């Protein structure tokens, strides 16, 4: 957006009843919106604000809310103040801490156009609300079809309602149709756009059983055994993906990770160049979007597996707008430490570069050297990753799980995932404690993955 034609106008203090923000918008040739007309959330503004490039937004009178909206929309914030100087300075500091670019503190609107013209372009600041908006938009554009096997879980039905309403993806839900419709009526959900299949009665079950028996005949699976296997929702849904009746699957709200992904190993299988299935979490923090891997699948990866995880994590991260710089994490930066684990990180970097020399990957790197430019300048001055990393590969599952949960629980990060990578077609696992927004995000991610043909 061009800062010279767009802004959020926020007021502090008193005496602004006659403030003519509409006239300012007209003078700038911009469309006027009033933040008080939206639900009092940044997400609502992002979802409902017009897509016009030139917008003047009249603030809601809450400097923190106005600043968050300005940061999310990529608009400068003009503070009109009738308060003491110190109050204005504190308001500016608060707004800047929330990521807003403050055009200045003014006593009236006359000086605002000149201040806006003096600013360069202002970019949106990454946040959970902005990321989720971008995720939904990207998924909607992909036009994918996702199967949800757990139709007897209210959270799945509530998420499906939103996914269908917002046209995030086409859906098939497995379960008893009468039960699902009755539950949707009780919960006041509209699932009319979903295909509902009772897998226990579907004529597809016999076809799937025959195909599964053929896929697993070397393991001694008989047709009768395959018929029994197709009574399992995860196997039936995975076969739908395998046969192209759905583009991806999301499950795990009421089942274990093993129950969700084991059928994928047997039916969908790994990509031809993949030796391991791994995962990343997208970690959304104010002003940054990072990827952490592998935090969910491989307990003790080898150097070669770490190298592969680094490359596929970079590829997955790039699907979600990250220009990947991959840090192979360790307790050592460069040659500052020694030992088998450091040697493994060195070998992992070499393995990654052999797989794809175009990916920026370096290590071993301590976390601070990976993300902090000041530390990187001291410890790894010649690295093109240190201090700028945005994809972090942990040495094992224990470290990765601790790392992402630390960032989530104490750093306020939104952890989106785990996103499985390495399979021929996308299948993603939910935590059994997943919330409805978690499920919506995972459906969107799966839809995006499926759209990358």
d(CA 16, CA 91): 17
Domain boundaries, the chain: 7-124, 145-268, 278-422
pLDDT in tens, 261-283: 889 989 999 888 888 999 999 99
- Domain boundaries 145-268, corresponding CATH code: 3.40.50.10950
Task: Check if 145-268 and 278-422 are the same fold.
Answer: yes
Cα separations (Å) of 220 from 213, 217, 232, 373?
A: 8, 5, 19, 57
- Dihedral of the CA atoms 423, 427, 431, 436 (nearest 10)? 150
pLDDT in tens, 201-249: 999 999 999 999 999 989 989 999 999 999 999 999 999 999 999 999 9
Check: CB of residue 346 under 8 Å from CB of residue 424.
Answer: no
Q: Mind listing the pLDDT tens digit of every residue in the chain (453 residues)? A: 344 568 898 888 765 666 788 888 888 888 888 888 888 788 888 888 877 678 888 888 889 999 999 999 999 998 988 888 899 899 999 999 999 999 999 888 888 888 888 888 888 899 988 999 999 999 999 999 999 999 999 999 999 999 999 999 999 999 999 999 999 999 999 999 999 999 999 999 999 999 999 999 899 899 999 999 999 999 999 999 999 999 999 998 888 777 888 899 899 998 888 889 999 999 999 889 999 999 988 999 999 999 999 999 999 999 999 999 999 999 999 877 778 999 999 999 999 999 999 999 999 999 999 999 999 999 999 999 999 999 999 999 999 999 999 999 998 899 998 899 999 999 998 888 889 999 999 999 999 999 876
d(CA 307, CA 8): 46
CATH class of 278-422: alpha beta
């Amino acid at each position: 957006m061009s800062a010279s034609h767009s802004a959020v106008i926020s007021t502090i203090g008193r005496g602004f009843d006659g403030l003519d923000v509409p006239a300012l918008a007209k003078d700038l040739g911009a469309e006027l919106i009033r933040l008080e007309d939206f639900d009092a959330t940044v997400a609502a503004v992002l979802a409902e604000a017009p897509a016009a490039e030139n917008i003047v937004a009249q603030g809601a009178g809450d400097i923190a809310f106005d600043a968050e909206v300005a940061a999310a929309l990529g608009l400068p914030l003009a503070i009109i103040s009738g308060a003491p100087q110190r109050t204005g300075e504190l308001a500016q500091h608060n707004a800047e801490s929330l990521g807003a670019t403050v055009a200045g503190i003014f006593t009236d609107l006359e000086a605002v156009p000149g201040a806006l013209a003096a600013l360069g372009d202002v970019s949106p600041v990454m946040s959970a609300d902005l990321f989720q908006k971008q995720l939904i938009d990207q998924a909607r554009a992909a036009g994918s079809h996702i199967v949800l096997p757990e139709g007897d879980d209210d959270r799945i039905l509530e998420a499906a309602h939103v996914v269908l309403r917002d046209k995030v993806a086409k859906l098939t839900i497995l379960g008893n149709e009468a039960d699902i419709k009755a539950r949707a009526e009780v919960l006041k959900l509209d699932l009319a756009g979903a295909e509902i299949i009772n897998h226990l009665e579907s004529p597809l079950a016999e076809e799937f059983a025959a195909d599964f028996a053929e896929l697993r005949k070397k393991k001694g699976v008989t047709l009768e055994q395959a018929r029994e296997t197709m009574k399992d929702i995860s196997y039936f849904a995975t076969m739908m993906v395998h046969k192209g009746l759905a583009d991806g699957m999301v499950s795990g709200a009421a089942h274990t990770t093993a129950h969700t992904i084991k059928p994928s190993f047997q039916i969908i299988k790994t990509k031809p160049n993949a030796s391991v299935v791994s995962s990343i979490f997208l970690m959304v923090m104010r002003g940054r979007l990072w990827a952490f891997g592998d935090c969910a699948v491989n307990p003790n990866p080898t150097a070669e597996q770490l190298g592969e995880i680094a490359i596929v994590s970079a590829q997955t991260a790039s699907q979600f707008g990250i220009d990947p710089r991959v840090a192979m994490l360790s307790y050592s930066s460069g040659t500052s430490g020694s030992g088998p684990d450091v040697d493994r990180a060195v070998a992992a970097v070499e393995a990654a570069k052999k797989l794809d020399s175009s990916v920026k990957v370096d290590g071993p790197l301590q976390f601070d050297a990976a993300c902090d430019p000041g530390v990187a300048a001291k410890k790894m001055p010649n690295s093109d990753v240190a201090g700028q990393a945005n994809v972090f590969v942990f040495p094992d599952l224990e470290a990765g799980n601790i790392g992402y949960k630390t960032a989530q629980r104490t750093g306020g990060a939104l952890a989106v995932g785990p996103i499985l990578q390495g399979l021929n077609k996308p299948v993603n696992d939910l935590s059994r404690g997943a919330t409805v927004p978690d499920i919506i995000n995972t459906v969107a991610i799966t839809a995006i993955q499926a759209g990358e043909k």
